[in-house]
């Protein structure tokens, strides 16, 4: 199993919204280069699944996905559900799981005031 770390854009937004990570790596200042914690990164960069768990447990925001087999290809449908405001985001279909999750992490983070 391979872990997918969030992109620089998501790491920056997550930090602005209060995400704190005590292990792993991150991004330094205004670069998009991933670095270990030994270099003391400015923006912690968790895996996509850790950030998804934080959104679910701390903010009651859920990223929901569904596997679709369409025209002989595997695709993934993602949407965001904000349990506090009882609101659904727009469902979108993606070619890869990681791409869909990354996009919906951004959408979910923007819900947080």
- The structural domains of the chain, with segments of one domain joined by +, span 8-111
Interval 52-97: pLDDT, tens: 999 999 999 999 999 988 778 889 999 999 988 888 889 999 999 9
Interval 86-97: pLDDT, tens: 888 899 999 999
Contacts of 82 (CB under 8 A, 6+ apart): 60, 61, 88, 89, 108, 111
Interval 1-30: pLDDT, tens: 578 889 989 989 999 999 987 666 777 766
Residues 24/18, Cβ–Cβ less than 8 Å: no
Q: For residue 81, what pLDDT is reported?
A: 94
pTM, 2 dp: 0.85
- DSSP collapsed to 3 states, the chain: CCCCECCHHHHHHHHHCCCCCCCCEEECCCCCCEEEHHHCCCEEECEHHHHHHHHHHHHCEEEEEEEEEECCEEEEEEEEEECCCCEECCCEEECCHHHHHHHHHHHHHHHCC
């Amino acid at each position: 199993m391979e872990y997918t770390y969030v992109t620089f854009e998501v790491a920056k937004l997550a930090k602005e919204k209060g995400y704190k990570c005590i292990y792993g790596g991150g991004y330094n200042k205004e670069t998009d280069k991933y670095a270990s914690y030994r270099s003391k990164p400015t923006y912690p960069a968790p895996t996509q699944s850790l950030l998804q768990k934080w959104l679910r447990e701390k903010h009651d925001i859920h990223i929901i996905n569904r596997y679709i087999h369409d025209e002989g290809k595997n695709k993934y449908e993602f949407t965001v559900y904000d349990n506090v405001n009882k609101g659904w985001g727009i469902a979108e279909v993606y070619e890869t799981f990681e791409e869909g999750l990354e996009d919906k992490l951004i959408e979910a983070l923007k819900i947080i005031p």
